[in-house]
Amino acid sequence: MRIGELAERAGTTTRTLRYYESRGLLPARRGENGYRTYDEHDLRLLRQIRTLQDFGFDLEETRPFVECLRAGHPEGDSCPASLAVYRRKLGELDTLIEELRSVRAQVAGQLLRAEQARDELAAESRVPGGPEPECELGGQTW
């Protein structure tokens, strides 16, 4: 199988495969004509990489999984180094999710506060002085 077919079967591009090879992650044998040659096992490795990439793993983080498969283990995560990556990733995800939840809460709070300030201003101007509730920005009047 040549590079184009492998790329297509894995749902990626030839550029990506050459990039992986340049990183030493997915080396290829060469045919007489210099073309890269791959087999089903390479497809397996590639799919492992892609799956982890889809999960947001850095390319380097997929290396233990690939090496594990290449060492003949049944799964990419059949080796302790892969499990260590899983665990580290879980920790990173937990931290990140917590941070995002915190940011979300703060933004929601700001939005609420800003909307209330806006409404109070609107109510105020409707009653005592006289109406003057315009904002020149944003293309719309409140």
Q: Where are the alpha helices (DSSP H) in 3-71?
A: 3-10, 14-22, 40-54, 63-70
Residue 125's contacts (CB-CB under 8 Å, 6 or more residues apart) are 131, 132, 133
**Alpha carbon 125 to chain centroid distance?**
48
Judged by beta carbon distances under 5 to 8 A according to partner kind, the member of DNA, a second copy, none in contact with residue 122 is none
Instruction: Using CB under 7 A, list all residues that contact DNA.
Output: 2-5, 12-16, 18-19, 28, 32-36, 53, 58-60
Say which entry of a second copy, DNA, none residue 130 contacts (CB below 5 to 8 A, set by partner kind). none
Interacting residues with a second copy between 113 and 132 (CB under 8 A): 114-115, 117-118
Nearer to a second copy, 5 or 115 (CB): 115
84 binds, among DNA, a second copy, none (CB under 5 to 8 A by kind): a second copy
Q: Distance of alpha carbon 64 from its chain centroid, rounded? A: 19
